[in-house]
Amino acid sequence: MGVPANKYFQEKYLSDERVDSLIKQIEIAKEACIIAEKSKNADSIFKAEINLGEIYQKQFRYDLAIEIYFKALKISDSTNTKKNKAKALHQIGSIYLDIRNLDLAHEYLTKSLAIKNKLNDKKSIASTQNSLALTYWLQGHLNTALDHLFKTLSIDQEINDTDGMARRFNNIGIVYHEKKQYSLALEYLNKALEIKRGTSDLWATAETLNNIGENYISQEKYNKAIDVLTEAQGIAKRLNALILLSDNYRYFSRLYKQTNKFKEALIYHELFINLEDSLFSRDKYSIISELKSSFEIEKRKRIFNCKIKKLSCWKRKRK
């Protein structure tokens, strides 16, 4: 018996220290997809496709990622596997969340959450509920976002998911900052940082440091802001985490503008703009919308064809 495709991916990804490039990660994930296809096991194929999609998503190659997620959704529909369908719907929703198509993000995440609630998969429920909270936050529905985040935090605490708690503390802090409740925001951000300091998750540590830096800027505590933003920038550069650097440069630009250091503010603003341009391509967004439309059309065609077949069978029985 061969190694299951998803196990192959995990073992290679986690154990091979040479996997230090995005190209290598994709190669391994594609190999896993080939192994899964040969096995003709729908569950293995689904998991391998999701793994590949997640890698593309982390690289901001959203057009490729969402195409794979829709393929995974078809597989879950064909096998009527509810858990897999909920996963695929969540991933599609997360893409739309990433590109700020909030209506579609809400649509797919809500569908995913409905299935997960029926399955009572609490860790998975927390993940989707958190993403839904972010859609509400981005839409400006801050109290609704907080309601979802506190519900999610309760689940994290119930199942003792410290990583989940850290994410929730971070996001609650972000929403309170948006509400201009800076002291309360800082309280939750520091809770998130305390957990992350005790882990090896440098990306999340830098993310929270960025958020704390933004909070200090809003409170006009500029020296403290410089300290935490400098630490965040160092981590982000080490990880080559461009999206974290983008946020960091934006916050530094704001800080120097508020302190009348306009030369430094302009330098960081230009760094931010250049990085944003390289991270996001608007041309890809229309492709993603087209993929969604073609998937829905194909699905409607399948339903229509099934109805025609049933009608034909009914007519034959009547004869």
Q: Which residues contact 135 (CB under 8 A, 6 or more apart)?
A: 97, 102, 105, 106, 109
Rounded to the nearest angstrom, the gap between the alpha carbon of residue 258 and the centroid of all alpha carbons in its chain is: 32
Residue 243 half-sphere exposure, CB side, CA atoms within 13 Å? 10
Domains in the chain: how many in total? 2
Q: What is the DSSP string of 192-260?
A: HHHHHHTSS-HHHHHHHHHHHHHHHHHTT-HHHHHHHHHHHHHHHHHHT-HHHHHHHHHHHHHHHHHTT
For residue 261, what are the domain limits? 192-280
Distance from C-alpha of 303 to C-alpha of 306, rounded to nearest angstrom: 5
Q: Is residue 118 part of a domain?
A: no
Q: Is residue 169 part of a domain?
A: no
Task: Give the pLDDT mean for 56-74.
Answer: 91
Kind plus residue range of the DSSP H or E element containing 140: none
Q: Are 97 and 105 in contact (CB under 8 A)?
A: yes
Residues 144-195: tens digit of each pLDDT: 999 999 999 999 999 999 999 999 999 999 999 999 999 999 999 999 999 9
Q: Is residue 163 part of a domain?
A: no
Render the burial of 101-114: b for 16+ CB within 10 Å, e for the rest. Answer: bbebbbbbbebbbe
Q: Is residue 242 part of a domain?
A: yes
Least confident interval from 31-45, 68-82, 129-143: 31-45
- pLDDT at 284 exceeding the cut of 50: no
Sign of CA dihedral 284, 103, 77, 127: positive
Token pair for 3: 């190694």
- pLDDT at 305 exceeding the cut of 80: no
Distance from C-alpha of 152 to C-alpha of 140, rounded to nearest angstrom: 19
Q: What is the CA radius of gyration of the chain?
A: 22
- Helix 162-178 and helix 122-138: axis angle, to 10°? 20
Q: Is residue 246 part of a domain?
A: yes
Residues 115-127: tens digit of each pLDDT: 999 999 999 999 9
pLDDT, residue 282, reads 40
pLDDT, residue 222, reads 98
Distance from C-alpha of 109 to C-alpha of 89, rounded to nearest angstrom: 6
Q: Which of 61, 95, 113 is the last residue of a domain?
A: 61
Token pair for 228: 């935490």
> pLDDT band for position 279 (50/70/90)?
low
Distance from C-alpha of 31 to C-alpha of 28, rounded to nearest angstrom: 5
Q: Which of 33, 61, 89 is the last residue of a domain?
A: 61
> pLDDT band for position 295 (50/70/90)?
low
Q: What is the DSSP string of 172-191?
A: HHHHHHHTT-HHHHHHHHHH
Could you tell me the CA-to-CA distances from 253 to 203, 225, 231, 273, 280 in Å, in that order? 21, 12, 16, 11, 20
**Can you give the CATH number for the domain in which 242 is found?**
1.25.40.10
Among candidate residues 217, 241, 238, 239, the one with its CA nearest the CA of residue 229: 217
pLDDT, residue 203, reads 94
- pLDDT at 290 exceeding the cut of 50: no
Q: Is residue 20 part of a domain?
A: yes
Task: Give the pLDDT mean for 201-207.
Answer: 95
pLDDT, residue 227, reads 98
Q: Is residue 248 part of a domain?
A: yes
pLDDT, residue 11, reads 39
- pLDDT at 40 exceeding the cut of 80: yes
Token pair for 48: 């391998």
Q: Is residue 53 part of a domain?
A: yes
Residues 211-250: tens digit of each pLDDT: 999 999 999 999 999 999 999 999 999 998 888 999 999 9
Longest dimension (CA), the chain: 87
Q: What is the pTM of this model?
A: 0.76
Q: Are 193 and 208 in contact (CB under 8 A)?
A: yes
